[in-house]
Amino acid sequence: MAVEELYFSLALPAHRWCRFYQGTARAVIVRAHDGRIVQFPARHLRPFVSREGVFGEFRLRVDGNGRLLSLDRVG
């Protein structure tokens, strides 16, 4: 099965991340650098949360069925 890599930038300040932490929002929707819209569960961003929020360049790897395999900060 083919693995696809999608790259995107994220700038999510702490006051907006609180919505995920409080459970009022469960998914993150971003536009990948190639223009595609990507939605994934917010829980996958937890390792990247700082006091300021979540910021950086990320790589999302999905399988041929669109299932998330990994999320890594790349920049």
Give the pLDDT of residue 18: 79
CATH number of the CATH domain containing 33: 2.40.50
**Domain residue limits at 61:** 4-73
Give me the mean pLDDT over the 39-43 stretch: 92
Give the pLDDT of residue 72: 97
Residue 75: pLDDT above 80? no
The count of structural domains within the chain is 1
Q: What is the DSSP string of 25-65?
A: --EEEEE-TTS-EEEEEGGGGGGG-BTTEEEEEEEEEE-TT
Give me the mean pLDDT over the 26-52 stretch: 93
**pTM: predicted TM-score of the whole model, two decimal places:** 0.87
pLDDT band at 69 (very low <50, low <70, confident <90, very high): very high
Give the pLDDT of residue 68: 93
